[in-house]
Amino acid sequence: GRRGAAAMAAPLLQAWGFGAALRSRAALRPLGLLAPPCREASGPGEAALEENPFYGKYRDKIQELRRSSPDVFESRMEKRNEVKKQPLGYSKQGDFIRCMEEKARPMFFAEGLGTKASKGGFTKDKTLDSILNVEMVKEKSAEEIKQIWNQYFSAKDTVYAVIPAEKFDLMWKRAQKCPSFLYALPRKEGYEFFVGQWSGTELHFTSLINIQTQGETAPSQLVLYHYPELQKEKGIVLMTAEMDSKFLVVHEAQCLANQVQLFYATDRSETYKLVETFNHRSSEFKYMSVITELEQSGLGRELRPGQGSDKS
């Protein structure tokens, strides 16, 4: 619902000083997109905005803002006009969905129990008990639970993982210090930026264009749910997700989830330093550094057609 979305966006806007950041040139590389070279935008900001490949998805919200708060809309357009598009090479998306064909053993899962859907289609209070029969799986080994979890979710259109306890510990400690980060999703047109904000063990994503056009009411488009209930006893943390399929498909959501591990669970201090800079020294943060890191890791390449992962 709107209240949940506002609750997510408000701490983000405060924590990262997003209000101030959005007034700065650095934060406004046009509406969350780094695009390949294109013709110079002539005329008013509005026309230029409509050239953004992602404009269509947000048209209704933008029109609504224009009608209800023309002054706000105009001032955002003026700010946008100060910024020039930064050219970048194409990054085409392809498929890297994991295909697991085995059937799950449904007796371990509590289908539909205690799930309360919010208006945005995301589940409120999504506990592990609402998904899994925790008492029953406690008799199983970590390896067996991992197999059960993976088999069950492989049949569903979603993102899921079983994270080793030590890795989640590291991610969790870092999330307390640095609760938000900017992620870059490779698209055919360039890169679309998403902001990920931790709220407890949930990680909420919304696109930068959403935050720039809707501010505190920007809804989540992807939520990753982490369940540490079995962490001490079994040494694993279970993760699954819900997403708004109007904006993301599974392999795009998977790419964002992979980036969380890339930036929050890394051993490379230079990589994690980007997260620290984003949270604590935002004026020094460079958008391109995220893309460079992504390209070096190979995650950017995995979304391009005809260049599947080298892993056998």
Domain ranges across the chain: 92-108+127-303
Torsion of CA 263, 311, 191, 87, to 10 degrees: 110
From first to last of the 312 residues of the chain, give the pLDDT tens digit: 544 544 454 444 444 444 444 433 333 344 455 544 433 333 445 555 555 555 566 666 677 777 777 777 676 666 555 443 433 433 323 222 222 223 333 444 544 333 333 445 566 667 887 788 888 888 899 999 999 999 889 888 899 999 999 999 999 999 999 999 999 998 887 899 999 999 999 999 999 999 889 887 889 999 999 999 999 999 999 999 999 999 999 999 999 999 999 999 999 999 999 999 999 999 999 989 999 999 888 876 655 544 333 333
